[in-house]
Amino acid sequence: MSFQTLGLSPALLRALAAQNYDTPTPIQAAAIPVVLAGHDLLASAQTGTGKTAGFSLPLLERLFPLGQRPSSGRPRKPRALVLTPTRELAAQVHDAVRDYSRFLTIYSTTIFGGVGMGNQIQNLRRGIDIVIATPGRLIDHMQQGHIDLSGIEILVLDEADRMLDMGFLPALKRVIAATPRTRQTLLFSATFAPAIKALATQFMRAPREVSVAPANTVVSTVSHRVHPVDAERKRDLLLHILAADSRRQTLVFARTKHGSDKLCKYLNQSGIRSAAIHGNKSQNQRTRALDDFRKAKVDVLVATDIAARGLDIEQLPMVINHDLPMVAEDYVHRIGRTGRAGAEGLALSLVSHEEAGLLRDIRQLLKDDIEIAPMEGFEPSQPLRMDANAPKPRQGGQRQRAGGKKTPAHARRPHAQEPSAGNHGKARRQRRGGAGSRRSPSSPGGRR
């Protein structure tokens, strides 16, 4: 199977060649023909499967058949809208759309919160073909009459399960209601949970279903290994692993913001160049940390679950869980950062006996045996017990408002922040919303 046989026009094929994409990934092979044929699409695909190109390529082909604009000049209204749960994902999707459309004349922009509205309004006024937006800020623009969605031909809901988890359902409904019924709708989600099915039933027309990874499974090219270790020796074991492994670019997950800062500091002091990314960092700090990691100026990125969601970091050979996530599904999302697009990946977890219950949940979810191998010199003082009474870290936490500031209208939805140290987050839902709701400076997506 090649991209040519999928029916993409030369301008897109040239762009793919420039990206060194030879062969479509399974989600692309399955989704592209369905979208080109004009069907609604309900796709189950995790980050790392190539889903962004799976919707961007046929979207570009349909809006610009054979690489041509249907009319000269800039569009009066946006023709396609991509909704994403976080601004980071919106920026990534925008980057991908730019890469794939480099030989087309198209105008695209991002719309997300945490930055001023002025540039976004100007971009919209100039005329934009494709808008990539987070729901909250988009609603703000709709309310103030800056954007008219009546010309939307294609609507994409990317990581729809995350958007629902973050409490965006009412916003999604409002946005969808502002688009024409005749639109084509593409919904991407890691799982087909009942709420996703309900959304599809309500807003999609006879969607074709495509599923490349069954719900809650991880990419098969990832090997999993657990090193049992006493909690107070985790940092040293991490250092030992990082020092012994010649592979660069490791993503390390910590459970709390405070914990990730401490770990990052410790690694830097020990001579391993590291940066931390979490919900308390400003947008600028996050962008810089990610850039430094991408450019290999730092070798380790220490991240919390929220900060890491949707990050597109290419070809990551290894992900290390310094702490296990409180919710087993988050393990799957974390591990989605390695073994991407066919590359081999290694997922290591450092598990103390207090976390045995979390490991038990993860193993049940994966329906898979994760290798448990004590590391010589770091053997734990107590074995990991996996029975029904296996211990879990204490849950706690309280709902907080973004930055403690007056809550803006669009942010008055259930959202939350990552737990701070010793404050492990009350519920999964609470830990989902932080990234999209904090205010900090950053440049909005530009025009093209």
20 versus 202: smaller Cβ distance to ligand AMP: 20
Under rule CB under 6 A, residue 325 binds ligand AMP? no
Instruction: Count the site residues for ligand AMP by CB under 6 A.
Output: 16
HEC assignment per residue over the chain: CCCHHHCCCHHHHHHHHHCCCCCCCHHHHHHHHHHHCCCCEEEECCCCCCHHHHHHHHHHHHHCHHHCCCCCCCCCCCCEEEECCCHHHHHHHHHHHHHHCCCCCCCEEEECCCCCCHHHHHHHHHCCCEEEECHHHHHHHHHCCCCCHHHCCEEEECCHHHHHHCCCHHHHHHHHHCCCCCCEEEEEECCCCHHHHHHHHHHCCCCEEEECCCCCCCCCCEEEEEEECCHHHHHHHHHHHHHHCCCCCEEEECCCHHHHHHHHHHHHHCCCCEEEECCCCCHHHHHHHHHHHHCCCCCEEEECHHHHCCCCCCCECEEEECCCCCCHHHHHHHHCCECHHHCCEEEEEEECHHHHHHHHHHHHHHCCCCEECCCCCCCCCCCCCCCCCCCCCCCCCCCCCHHHCCCCHHHCCCCCCCCCCCCCCCCHHHHHCHHHCCCCCCCCCCCC
- 85 counts as binding ligand AMP under rule CB under 6 A: no
Q: How far is CA 257 from the centre of its chain?
A: 18
Q: How far is the CB of 438 from ligand AMP (least distance, A)?
A: 23
Q: Decide if residue 419 touches ligand AMP (CB under 6 A).
A: no
With respect to ligand AMP, which residue has the nearer C-beta, 91 or 169? 91
Which window, 45-53, 175-183, 386-394, 417-425, contacts ligand AMP (CB under 6 A)? 45-53
CB of 82 to ligand AMP, least distance (A): 12
Taking the least distance from each CB to ligand AMP, the nearer of 318 and 350 is 318
Which of residues 26, 50, 85, 113 is near ligand AMP by CB under 6 A? 50
Shortest Å, Cβ 94 to ligand AMP: 13
Q: Could you say whether residue 51 binds ligand AMP (CB under 6 A)? A: yes
**Segment near ligand AMP (CB under 6 A), from 34-42, 43-51, 146-154, 343-351?**
43-51
d(CA 355, CA 264): 21
Using the rule CB under 6 A, is 314 a contact of ligand AMP? yes
Out of 32, 53, 139, 155, point to the residue binding ligand AMP (CB under 6 A): 53
47 lies in the site for ligand AMP, by CB under 6 A = yes
Q: Of 26, 31, 49, 250, which lies in the binding site for ligand AMP, with binding defined by CB under 6 A?
A: 49
User: In 3D, which of 212, 219, 81, 101 has the Cα closest to residue 155?
Assistant: 81
Q: Does 52 bind ligand AMP (CB under 6 A)?
A: yes
Rank residues 325 and 339 by Cβ distance to ligand AMP and give the closer one: 339
x/- mask, ligand AMP, residues 334-363, rule CB under 6 A, reads ------xx----------------------
Residue 258 in contact with ligand AMP, rule: CB under 6 A: no
Interacting span for ligand AMP (CB under 6 A) from 50-58, 127-135, 183-191, 381-389: 50-58
- The answer to whether residue 90 forms part of the interface with ligand AMP (CB under 6 A) is no
User: Residue holding tokens 């590359």?
Assistant: 343
Q: Return the number of the residue (188 or 331) whose C-beta is nearest ligand AMP.
A: 188
Buried b (16+ CB within 10 A) or exposed e, 86-124: bbbbbbbbbebbbbbbeebebbbbbbbbbbebeebeebb
Residue 224 vs residues 19, 221, 254, 350, 366: alpha-carbon distances, Å: 30, 10, 17, 11, 11
Considering only 46-54, 254-262, 376-384, 405-413, which stretch makes contact with ligand AMP by CB under 6 A? 46-54
**Contacting residue, 48, 207, 259, 357, with ligand AMP by CB under 6 A:** 48
Q: Which residue lies nearer to ligand AMP by CB, 152 or 313?
A: 313
Map residues 1-30 to x or -, x wherever contact with ligand AMP holds by CB under 6 A: --------------------x-xxx--x--
**Stretch 131-150: interaction string toward ligand AMP, x if CB under 6 A:** --------------------
309 binds ligand AMP (CB under 6 A): no
Question: Residues interacting with ligand AMP, by CB under 6 A?
Answer: 21, 23-25, 28, 47-53, 312, 314, 340-341
